[in-house]
Amino acid sequence: MKKLIAGNWKMNGLEAGAVSLIGEIGSKIGAEPEILERCDFLVCPPALHIHVVKHKIDHDHIPVAIGGQDCASTENGAFTGNVSAEMLKDAGCAYVILGHSERRSLHNESSAYINEKAARAHMQGLTAVICVGEQEDERESGNAYDVVAKQLWESVPKVSNAATTVIAYEPVWAIGTGKSATPDDVKAMHAFIREKLQENLAESANMRILYGGSVKPDNAADLFKVDNVDGALIGGASLKADQFLGIAQAV
């Protein structure tokens, strides 16, 4: 299975910067096309930049998929400030990140709510990248596995399969901190997630499990060697084309 190298640009940059970033990513992939035999690429710009980034991707034939960072749990309607799965699809998205820890904590999103969003994404044919991961105190108190199992059980629709869903394990304490989980911790958690997916879902075979949390070019090779690590969800390092591609080169 190819690794999915996914960039979560979060709420960073302005339009011109988004266009030049995807342009640089495109040039770097163009200079090294064999990387596409090992990696699939995805970028998730801020919602307002999806159109210009998608335009650049299409115009320059850049082999990178595009996704949203969130979607509404409902169909279109009177929901001020929301962006629907249908709108993302219409804008050319193939993916949407759901349940990122920043949304779980800063926007109080529950797993049940994320499950509704995932169902909406699935209805529109978007692949949902559903994030799970424990907080630092939950890991320290030995509850990381219980927390992740509960998030998986409640957030991931039971009809999910490898085409409609990607799981991203992102320990919250590793996000944006420079403190990545160790390959041993990742190995144990990804094996556990694989097992839970098999228990919970009828069609979990080949579902990708990404690792996220301070992935950089210099720790990527060790993480990608770990069983059941099928790619990475990258925040900070996805904002620099050389780092984003440096991570892919580690595959």
Dihedral sign (CA 40, 122, 132, 94): positive
User: Closest distance between ligand PGA and the C-beta of residue 41, in Å?
Assistant: 15
User: Closest distance between ligand PGA and the C-beta of residue 171, in Å?
Assistant: 10
CB nearest ligand PGA: which residue? 235
Mapped onto helix, strand or coil, the DSSP state of residue 13 is: coil
Is 113:98 a contact under the CB 8 Å cutoff? no
61 C-beta neighbours (distance < 10 Å), count: 8
Is 175:235 a contact under the CB 8 Å cutoff? yes
User: Closest distance between ligand PGA and the C-beta of residue 199, in Å?
Assistant: 26
39 vs 234, beta carbon nearer ligand PGA: 234
7 vs 157, beta carbon nearer ligand PGA: 7
End-to-end alpha-carbon separation of the chain, Å? 12
Q: Among residues 49, 100, 122, 190, which one is catalytic?
A: 100
Is 170 one of the catalytic residues?
Answer: yes
User: Closest distance between ligand PGA and the C-beta of residue 170, in Å?
Assistant: 6
9 vs 113, beta carbon nearer ligand PGA: 9
Q: Among residues 49, 109, 170, 190, which one is catalytic?
A: 170
144 vs 234, beta carbon nearer ligand PGA: 234
What type of residue sits at position 214?
S
8 vs 201, beta carbon nearer ligand PGA: 8
Q: Which residues bind ligand PGA (CB under 6 A)?
A: 8, 170, 175-176, 212-215, 233-237
Q: Closest Cα to residue 118, out of 182, 82, 73, 166?
A: 73
Is 24 one of the catalytic residues?
Answer: no
Give the pair of three-digit tokens for residue 98: 């759901």
| C-alpha distance from residue 5 to each of 114, 224, 246, 249 (Å) | 22, 11, 11, 10
d(CA 160, CA 213): 24
d(CA 106, CA 82): 16
User: Closest distance between ligand PGA and the C-beta of residue 238, in Å?
Assistant: 7
- The catalytic site residues sit at 100, 170
